[in-house]
Structure 1
Amino acid sequence: MSSTLRSSLSTLWWVPRGLIFGLMAFFIFGPLFNLLLWTVAEKWYFPHTLPLQYGFSAWERVFAPRGGALDSLRNSLVVAVLTVAVSLALAVPAGYALARLKLPFRSLILLAFLIPQAFPNLTVYVNVARIFYEIRLNGTIPGVVLVHVSHGLVYAVWIATAAFSAIDVELEQAARSMGAGALRAFFDVSLPLAAPGLMASAIFVFLESLDEFTGSYFVGAPDVNMLPLLLYTAGSGGNYQTASITALLLLVPSLFFMLIVERFLKADVLSRVGR
């Protein structure tokens, strides 16, 4: 009898677990399912639970020459790639110096890269837009890239520092003892070993740039159209089909690159982030 009771209790114990996991799945995948439905919904209104008509006419409108999606997608990709290039060009030497040299106030230097994240973005970008307008960078791709770099450097420098810190310094010393110069040891030993971490930082910077809205709005709009701006315009105007398609365009690369980051960013690198 007692074993039967224990078996019944153990069976009932799965009921709250199932409810919790079911609620978690609903709150995570429910909005995604709703997003996918809106991308193919032709006719959908209250009180109907599902669309009354399905089709791809919204996709045709979004990617039409006057839809703005192609222009926004091109600008977003160009800005993201340039942001990655500038961020890595600054982060690789900075990360190597922070990892190898005994710099004074090293922790403060790392914390300094968090300053753009420490203040409300809205107040910062209003003043940045005013300054950029005076020097004619407002409404230009270089201006948007500079704003995105200010945020991307947080990921780039911190992960680059962790990647170089995870490399045994004796490997460089061995290369130097065999006659390689400092630059040769860096490019032949340190940089290839740090490449997975640098690849992960590049992906983080790319995704941060791709999803950045506030800086793109205040510095780029209306001359530089970006996918987040198109998403905001469509959503605020009640055009849920266009907003959902734009959101899907932003979501797919994020999911794809996160899987790549999981492969490239090793545990020994993660353990040294911020150290």
Structure 2
Amino acid sequence: MAVRLAIYAFSLFLILGPISSLVIWSFAEKWFWPHTLPQQWGFLYWAKVFDGKMLHSLTLSFGIAFLVTLISILLCLPLSYLIARYRIPAKSVLLLIFLLPQAFPQLPVFTNAMVLMYKWDLVGTLTGVTLIHLVGALVFSVWTMVSVFQHISASLEEAAVNLGASRLRTFFTITLPMAVPGIIASSLLVFLYSLDEFTGSLLIGAPFITTMPVFMYNSAMGYEMQTASVTGLLLMLPGIVLLLLMQRFMKSEYMAAFGRG
């Protein structure tokens, strides 16, 4: 019992320790060595953050994440259904290709992409940032949706076809409604990925497109600890809410089928 409590306490320390540091820094107006806690507390830096460029970065990040999620759904929904339902030659190789961007360190992958985007004048544009986010987003979207459609019994579709329904009608009236919870979970996963994506946003978006992670990085590099802490907390809150929603929609059966060819 004592060992279990010690493990729980250590786990809470690992989770809450960094968060508590962010909270303290976000309300610290004056904090100098060698004081353990701030000498002056207040909302000064919260007000500065919301009066400055942070609000624009926050709106931009949510807009890009929403756009990336929408494009991922439109592209991956039919593709994932085809992969899950039909015998496609080299299906495992196709899924592996989608996984490759995550199989290597992100920095060289995004650096090579940046070279191509310079040729197409996409660096520093909203289009370029959206495309670089899709490199990673499509991985999560395809693999998750394939597992969702694999979980739905094909016999239900065959029964509808035998009763006279077309394949298209069967998909929209039977398969798609049953897949909605998994599609929502996949969308939340993609949204969170895009919202927190940093490396690609910095390389492709700078200096004209400043997302929240890049804004936080710039603040930390300038040792603006209060501003960086406020930004970090603002990034963390929607992530917690969306993860709780994803836990509700992501069924264990989908995870059991994840990656099954």
Shorter-normalised TM range: over 0.9
Amino acid corresponding to residue 136 of structure 2 in structure 1: H
Distance (whole Å) between structure 2 residues aligned to residue 228 and residue 125 of structure 1: 16
1:94-133 map, 5 Å: 94-133=79-118
Q: Structure 1, residues 149-190: CA drift from partner, whole Å, max 9, x if none?
A: 110111100110011111111111222222221111101111
Distance (whole Å) between structure 2 residues aligned to residue 222 and residue 169 of structure 1: 49
Q: Structure 1, residues 181-228: CA drift from partner, whole Å, max 9, x if none?
A: 111110111111011111111111111101111100111111111001
Report the structure number with the largest CA radius of gyration. Answer: 1
> Which residue of the other structure, out of 30, 33, 38, is the alignment partner of 1:43?
30
Distance (whole Å) between structure 1 residues aligned to residue 34 and residue 132 of structure 2: 44
Note the residue ranges of structure 1 that are not aligned, 5 or more in a row: 1-13
SS in structure 2 at match of 1:271: helix
Normalising by structure 2, report the TM-score.
0.96
Q: Which residue of 1 aligns with 2:208?
A: 223
1:26 CA drift (Å): 1.4
1:61-140 map, 5 Å: 61-64=48-51, 67-140=52-125
1:110 CA drift (Å): 1.0
Q: Which residue of 2 aligns with 1:163?
A: 148
SS in structure 2 at match of 1:42: strand
Note the residue ranges of structure 2 that are not aligned, 5 or more in a row: none
Distance (whole Å) between structure 2 residues aligned to residue 20 and residue 180 of structure 1: 56
1:1-275 map, 5 Å: 14-64=1-51, 67-275=52-260
Q: Structure 1, residues 107-164: CA drift from partner, whole Å, max 9, x if none?
A: 1111111111122221222222222122111111111111111101111001100111
Distance (whole Å) between structure 2 residues aligned to residue 56 and residue 207 of structure 1: 28
Amino acid corresponding to residue 43 of structure 2 in structure 1: F
Question: Identity across aligned pairs (percent)?
Answer: 43
Distance (whole Å) between structure 2 residues aligned to residue 38 and residue 61 of structure 1: 14
SS in structure 2 at match of 1:114: helix
Runs of 4+ in 1 over 4 A off after TM superposition: none
Distance (whole Å) between structure 2 residues aligned to residue 180 and residue 222 of structure 1: 53
Normalising by structure 1, report the TM-score.
0.91
Distance (whole Å) between structure 2 residues aligned to residue 119 and residue 71 of structure 1: 32
Distance (whole Å) between structure 1 residues aligned to residue 179 and residue 136 of structure 2: 22
Aligned residues: 260
1:24 CA drift (Å): 2.1
SS in structure 2 at match of 1:46: coil
Distance (whole Å) between structure 2 residues aligned to residue 81 and residue 245 of structure 1: 23
Q: CA RMSD in A?
A: 1.2
1:46 CA drift (Å): 2.2
1:78 CA drift (Å): 1.2
Distance 1:179 1:222, change over 3 A: same
SS in structure 2 at match of 1:149: helix
1:86 CA drift (Å): 1.1
